[in-house]
Structure 1
Amino acid sequence: MVKKVTEGITISVETFYQPDYSNPIGGEFMFAYRITIENNNTFPIKLLRRHWFIIDSNGSHREVEGEGVVGVQPLLAPGETYQYVSGSNLRTEIGKMYGTYQMENQLDKKILDVRIPEFQMVVPFKLN
């Protein structure tokens, strides 16, 4: 698990290889990731947007941007956490992702750019 704190918000990431949804012979490797967002501030926050960078070990780069996460824009009270699971496919056995969440302080409407820590996605047999 990797963690990063930005603007009083902790982002934690765990990854899981999905062999049942992968096709190694066809160059398709599916990974799931679990994100935990923790609001350590004294004010509520709302997640407005996400911006991901996805990089395969062959040098291929993709960007994904959009509103919210998994179809929602969660609102977190002080001390509250929000967790979701999503996924990404790679063309290689090893890759990485990182990015940012755009969040809004619900008291003063200030926009916060919260960093998502870089995390690795590695097919388990590559670790031996």
Structure 2
Amino acid sequence: MVQQVTKGIKITVDTSFEGTLYKDYKIQYAFGYQVTIENQSKDAVQLNARHWTILDALNHVETVSGEGVIGKKPIIRPGESHVYTSGCLLNSPFGAMLGFYEMINFSSSKKFFVDIPRFKLSAPFAIN
């Protein structure tokens, strides 16, 4: 588990290895991750967009950007949290992800960015 606080927004990420599958005649490694976004600030905020960098051990880099998270743009009031689960496929049994969320502070109407800390993805059978 990794955690980081940016501008009063605490991000916690837990990861899991989900298994392997074949896609386009290649083996793929499936990983899941659960993100908890906790508002420790005094203002209500809304998550509007996400930006991810996904890395694997074969030096493949993928960037993913989009609105909200899993089809939602949650409003998170002070002291509340939003939890969601998602996943990714890698070409190797090791990798990492990092990124940031674009958010709006409802009190000031200003956009701000919240860092998503770098977290490792690793298949247990490949760990020495």
Structure 2: gaps of 5 or more residues: none
Deviation at 1:42, TM superposition (A): 0.5
2:30 aligned counterpart, secondary structure? strand
2:21 aligned with 1:23: yes
Q: Which has the higher strand share?
A: 2
Q: Distance in 1 between matches of 2:64 and 2:51?
A: 6
1:27 aligned counterpart, secondary structure? strand
Residue in 2 aligned with 1:10?
10
Residue in 2 aligned with 1:108?
108
Matches within 5 A, 1:80-119: 80-119=80-119
2:126 aligned counterpart, secondary structure? helix
Residue in 2 aligned with 1:55?
55
Aligned-CA RMSD value: 1.2
2:44 aligned partner, one-letter code: P
The ranges of structure 1 where at least 4 consecutive aligned residues each deviate by more than 6 angstroms after the TM superposition are none
* Cα distance per residue 1:34-85 (max 9 Å; x no partner): 0000000111000000000000101000000000000000000001001000
Taking structure 2 as the reference length, the TM-score comes to 0.95
Structure 1: gaps of 5 or more residues: none
Identity between Structure 1 and Structure 2 (%): 39
2:82 aligned partner, one-letter code: Y
Q: Which has the higher helix share?
A: 1
Aligned length: 126
Taking structure 1 as the reference length, the TM-score comes to 0.95
